[in-house]
Amino acid sequence: MSISARKIVLIAALVIMMTALLWAGSGDRAARLQAEPAPAPATIASAVNAPALQPEPVEPQAAMAAVPLSQVRLVRQSLKRSGLGARVFATVTVRNRHQYAIKDVEILCAFRGRDGYVTTRRRVLPEVIEARSRETFANVLVGHINVVTTRGRCKLVGASRA
């Protein structure tokens, strides 16, 4: 197939998927969506920097295992799409400046489309990062996102002591 034929096939597949999504909704859902006001446009920064929901009470031992994130940084990040643009893979480099090893680093990634719709996904990286070192996690599946998203960004939200 030539490049233009591939583009036509991809566009046709996208049109078919969008049509199926539109026809999948019920009449009640459509009426409810018309009655609800449109949400205010959000930004990636507001979604990533928004305060997290109040966590459930944790056991004292688990609370002691939490690591202050002042010495843990997300040094480098890159996002790439796959699966007709619906899946996102992240390659992130985490730097640990603590005097002790850390594990279970949790990242929060936010994606925004031109229409203002924001999708957030959380992932835990279950590897141990040694003291005073950095670790690169390549091609971590962040999740499925809206196809029309145009921008994305990740940040660290938690880690525990190894």
pLDDT tens per residue across span 35-53:
555 555 556 666 656 655 4
Residue 50: its pLDDT value, please? 60
Q: How confident is the model at residue 141 (pLDDT cuts 50, 70, 90)?
A: very high
For the segment 111-130, the average pLDDT, to the nearest whole number, is 94
Q: Which residue has the higher pLDDT, 22 or 110?
A: 110
For residue 154, what pLDDT is reported? 96
Which residue is associated with the tokens 């566009």?
A: 11
Q: State the pLDDT at residue 135.
A: 96
Buried b (16+ CB within 10 A) or exposed e, 96-121: bebeeebbbbebbbbbbeeeeebbeb
Query: pLDDT band at residue 126, thresholds of 50, 70 and 90?
Result: very high
Integer Cα distance of 155 and 105 in angstroms? 11
| pLDDT band at residue 21 using 50, 70 and 90 as cut-offs | low
pLDDT of residue 26 exceeding 50: no
Q: Which bin fits 28, alpha (ψ -120 to 50), beta or left (φ > 0)?
A: alpha
Tokens of 35: 């009655």
Report how far residue 107's alpha carbon sits from residue 26's, in angstroms, rounded to the nearest whole number: 35
Instruction: Measure the N-to-C terminal CA separation of the chain; round to a whole number of Å.
Output: 52
